[in-house]
Structure 1
Amino acid sequence: MKDRQSDLCSKYIKIFIVVSCYWIVSIATVFVNKSLLSSQSVNLEAPLFITWFQCVVSFTICFTLSKTGGIPGIFNFPIGTPWSKDIVGKVIPLSIMFTLMIATNNLCLKYVGVSFYYIGRSLTTVFNVIFSWILLRQVTSHRCVLCCGFIIFGFYLGVDQEHLLGSFSLIGTIYGVVGSLMLSLYSIYTKKILPIVNQEVWLLSYYNNAYSIILFLPLIVLNGEVDVLLNYNNFNSTYFWIQMVIGGFCGFAIGYVTSMQIKVTSPLTHNISGTAKACAQTVIATQWYNESKNCLWWTSNIIVLASSALYARFKQVEMEKNSRKLIPEEEKSLM
């Protein structure tokens, strides 16, 4: 009995440490990216270049881990190369979505405040329902659709209040909506691509970052960032490169701690943890930047956060219910 209690205690401690790491890394990543994209200390009007550099750092880490086989005693990095013709042809469509997703996410963060960032990107759940029906013909329950309706209402209320407070950015909100759309498509298509890489999330991350390094180059040119980079004066600044490298490590770390949280808990717990983290992130941001928000603004956040949490819970209950359905006698005999 004592051994069992000791194992249970160790399990809870591990879960607490992993969830805490997820919260710390995720919140730190948002603030670091906001500093890189908008602060006067960096003052580089090239958000896509900054995002590209983060992909370079993530790719370098993945490449190193692929050569060493991972970190001894922590995890093994799967074997694979992104330069196989067969892999490139199958994964590149997903990598295009991945590139557009992280580009629009950072562009959204550049133009909106951290406190409004979650609201600006809150429509991912709604797009998941829409695209699941269009692409996969999956029907969503009425209560989940109702949750989506409340999310849309919360988004509208948040945008309205942000406009009244004078801090609303139309371009930033548009980037947030597009980022939500791309994240939804990326999540759906990831399910189709994972079997190609033997269900290895790390391998898929390795490939995505490798291809994104190339895919970002024409986007940087089209966004007019080449002239900005040629005229930038802080490339010889050690402080600038330290910030850039930290941003790259944060981008890599968020992928690792997210996978770890799902592994030691469950997808439902991960969604609830992410929702609670977004709430804490919003509160921290309003205090950090000395922002004053009215009651309706906070109400919009509560509506979006509560509706997203309820949606995750309803989907989990439906999945558990479907898994408990009796297997027909014909299938039992086959099994």
Structure 2
Amino acid sequence: MSSSKDDIYMTRKDKDEAEQSYLPNPATQRRPNNNHPVSLIAAVIAFYFFISLSVVFLNKIIMSGSDFNYALFVTWYQLVVALVLLLIFAHLGRTNKTFSIIPPYEFDTQIAKKVAPLTIVYVLMLALNNLCLQYVEVTFYQVARSLSINFTILFTYMILGKSTSAPALVACFIVFCGFALGSYGEINFSWAGIIYGVGSSAFVALYGIYVQKTLAAVDNNQWKLLHYNTTLAIIFLFPLVLFSGELSDIWATSEAIYDMGFWILMTISGLMGFAINVAMFLQVKYTSALTNTICGTAKACVQTVLAVMIFRNPISGMNALGILLALFGSGYYGWVRYQERMSK
């Protein structure tokens, strides 16, 4: 659990938090370009930075900073926390205007059947993302997952039959070069991390496409989609946790489950995973699509620098070049897509 994603509706560069975000970003909803105070915009951007960085670092600490290497269970628990928050805020929204953006909770089996394919993609996206964090350094995390742009272009053509402009393809090539160089130069290279990262990237791209196809089933309400997606994800993921052997291993060998501090950390990570939805909602509401793009790229740069400072991740020259290329290509792709949207 975020990513965006980082957005789900916008093309991939804005989707960086998607694997950790429990809500598709409403970035495609048209809204007036109101003039908001600079202090408010700065606060919204700062909130987004804090939440999105916290999601990644908290999950990394949980995945590798303890003996609790159970990515599927961590993902499932974070979804449970998100659902509890949804139920609380939906209830508060009945009487408090502050929470009125979240509609009352609902779960209709007929609608759930239509949302189910999206949820399967969603579960795989979240699980693979946490597995990727378990095996790679945070400095390399952005590179391992950078191919979402490439998969977005591929799936958009294969599933939706839409072609991509030449500048966007150039950005795609730059990202791939960054991925290749970053992987080759990674000091603590992990094939498992690479495979999980590429898999997560593929499902992030698929998720963005399936969201667009599924929104009509929930009256184009992204919060209502969140109700169904989170509920179904908890139901679908639990058998995987059970049959993977993680649950039995946790009870048999893990000391962390007896540590209150660990559960507090797990719960906070779930809160942050949910809060990224609010952060993205506010950023879309009070800033622009270009600001989202810039913030996504800037956040990735800050994330890499902080990873070096906090985790002391070693970086080779080729690895650094790969990271820079992946970030540049992602930023350029976001800029190209922004220009294309503005020209329509």
State the TM-score, normalized to the length of structure 2.
0.86
- Out of 93, 117, 142, the position equivalent to 1:118 is 142
Report the aligned-residue RMSD: 1.7
Check if 1:207 corresponds to 2:218: no
Measured after TM superposition, the shift of residue 302 of structure 1 is 1.3
1:82–1:112 CA distance, 2 compared to 1 (3 A): farther
Of residues 214, 227, 235 in structure 1, which corresponds to 2:248? 227
- C-alpha distance 310-71 of structure 1, shift in aligned 2 (>3 A): farther
Q: Report the counterpart of residue 289 of structure 2 in structure 1.
A: 267
**Cα drift, residue 80 of structure 1:** 4.9
Q: Is the 8 A contact 2:87 2:105 kept in 1?
A: no
2:240 aligned partner, one-letter code = L
Please state how far the C-alpha of 1:82 moved relative to its aligned partner: 4.5
Shift of 1:320: 2.0
Structure 2 residue corresponding to 1:248, chosen from 264, 270, 283: 270
Counterpart Cα distance in 2 of 1:225 and 1:299: 37
User: What's the counterpart of residue 333 of structure 1?
Assistant: none
On the 8 A contact 2:137/2:313 being kept in 1, the answer is no
1:47 and 1:18 mapped to 2: Cα distance? 30
Partners of 1:127 and 1:181 within 8 A in 2: yes
Partner of 1:32: 58
CA distance in 2, matches of 1:45, 1:298: 28
Q: Is 1:197 equivalent to 2:227 in the alignment?
A: no
Mapped contact 1:54–1:248 kept (Cα < 8 A): yes
Q: Indicate yes or no: 2:309 matched with 1:283.
A: no
Maintained 8 Å contact 1:65/1:77 = no
Please state if 1:144 is matched with 2:165.
no
Name the aligned partner's letter for residue 329 of structure 2: S
Q: Distance in 2 between matches of 1:71 and 1:300?
A: 51
TM-score normalized by the length of structure 1: 0.88
Which of 291, 313, 319 is equivalent to 2:341? Answer: 319
The CA deviation string for residues 101-130 of structure 1, in whole angstroms up to 9 with x for no partner, is 100000000111111110000001111101
Counterpart-to-counterpart distance in 2, 1:150 and 1:301? 11
Which has the larger share of helix? 1
Choose which of 147, 161, 183 in structure 1 pairs with 2:204: 183
Q: Single out whichever of 249-258 and 199-208 deviates more from structure 2.
A: 199-208
- Structure 2: distance between partners of 1:149 and 1:256: 33
Indicate how the Cα distance of structure 1 residues 79 and 73 shifts in structure 2: closer, same or farther if over 3 A, else same.
Answer: closer
1:91 offset after TM fit, Å? 0.7
Gap change, CA 1:320 and 1:84, over 3 Å in 2: same
**Structure 1 vs Structure 2: percent identity of aligned residues?**
35
Is 1:53 matched up with 2:77? yes
Q: Is 1:44 aligned to 2:65, yes or no?
A: no
In structure 1, which of residues 14, 19, 40 is the aligned counterpart of residue 45 of structure 2?
A: 19
Q: Distance in 2 between matches of 1:99 and 1:70?
A: 30
Aligned counterpart, 2:127? 103
Q: Secondary structure at the match of 2:256?
A: coil
CA distance in 1 between counterparts of 2:245 and 2:131 reads 14
Check if 1:67 corresponds to 2:91.
yes
The offset of 1:141, in angstroms, is 0.8
Number of equivalent positions: 310
> Within 2, Cα distance between the matches of 1:117 and 1:209?
25
Whether the aligned pair in 2 keeps the contact of 1:19 and 1:273 (CA below 8 Å) is yes
- Does the 8 Å contact 2:116/2:232 carry over to 1? yes
Deviation of 1:21 (Å): 0.5
> Structure 1 residue 78: deviation in Å?
3.8
Q: Distance in 2 between matches of 1:243 and 1:30?
A: 13
Quick one: which of 214, 230, 236 aligns to 2:258? 236
Partners of 1:82 and 1:88 within 8 A in 2: no
Compute the displacement of 1:19 (Å): 0.7
In the alignment, which of 169, 174, 181 is matched to residue 157 of structure 1? 181
Quote how far apart the aligned CAs of 1:73 are: 4.6
What is the alpha-carbon distance in structure 1 between the residues aligned to residue 293 and residue 177 of structure 2? Answer: 20
Kept in 1, the 8 Å contact 2:86–2:227? The answer is yes
Amino acid at match of 1:136: L
Q: 1:71: Cα distance to partner? A: 8.3
1:332 is aligned to none
Residues 78 and 200 of structure 1 are in contact (CA less than 8 Å); yes or no, is this contact kept in structure 2?
Answer: no
How much does 1:48 deviate? 0.7
User: Structure 1 unaligned runs (5+)?
Assistant: 1-6, 324-335
Larger radius of gyration: 1
